[in-house]
Amino acid sequence: MSARIPEVTPGRMLSGECLCGDVRYRVEDRFRYALNCHCSQCRKATGSAFKPFAGIERDKLSITHGQDGLTVFGDEHAQDVHCRRCGSLLYSVVRDGQYVHVTLGTLVDEPSIRPSAHIFVGSKAPWYSITDSCRNMRSSADDTDHYPLFDVRRRGRRCDAVLRLLVR
């Protein structure tokens, strides 16, 4: 078994889908960054210790099946997109609507990028220990992680602040 990471091939497309298969998407294998987010909202949205995701320009992703089967939380500039039937979180629209954060867990194909850091580790679940060698990013925004209300746009602004530190 090889642990080799696939090289970026120009024009290579990746497919992804939700748990039930109603929604399928395609995205270019040209992600700009990939991170593991430990904020409480990403943990709840995925039911997991953290959310591995990768960011790319919004127009590089398209829904190939099940456009009518989407449930969207938020507005045009900041939204979470789920399958209406099974609830899978497929991606979030972020950074003033210019980028999407694709949940790596919904990719069917292997991307050529790997998460480079854990972010919002100040919000990390106490029962989970980070055991890899990725960089750990604690941020002042960790302090505002727990909102009384679900607010996609506010979460997006908080995430933007961290991305400015990590992404050119």
Given the rule CB under 5 A, which residues bind Zn ion?
A: 18, 20, 22, 37, 39, 42, 83, 85-86
Give the distance, in angstroms, between the CA of residue 64 and the centroid of all CA atoms in the same chain.
19
Contacts with 52 (C-beta within 8 Å, 6 or more apart), sequence order: 34, 35, 36, 103, 104, 105, 115
Q: Please report, in angstroms and rounded to a whole number, the separation of the first and last CA atoms in the chain.
A: 34
| Residue type, position 40, single letter | S
Beta carbon of residue 88, minimum distance to Zn ion (angstroms, whole number) = 5
Nearer to Zn ion, 12 or 26 (CB): 26
Beta carbon of residue 2, minimum distance to Zn ion (angstroms, whole number) = 31
Nearer to Zn ion, 18 or 100 (CB): 18
Beta carbon of residue 162, minimum distance to Zn ion (angstroms, whole number) = 9
Beta carbon of residue 21, minimum distance to Zn ion (angstroms, whole number) = 6
Nearer to Zn ion, 29 or 53 (CB): 53
Nearer to Zn ion, 20 or 167 (CB): 20
Nearer to Zn ion, 27 or 37 (CB): 37
Beta carbon of residue 12, minimum distance to Zn ion (angstroms, whole number) = 25
Contact 31, 56 (CB under 8 A): yes
Interatomic CA distance for residues 117 and 35, integer angstroms: 5
Contact 23, 34 (CB under 8 A): no
Count CB neighbours of 104 within 10 A.
20
| Residue type, position 37, single letter | C
Among 100, 25, 31, smallest CA distance to 59 is for 100
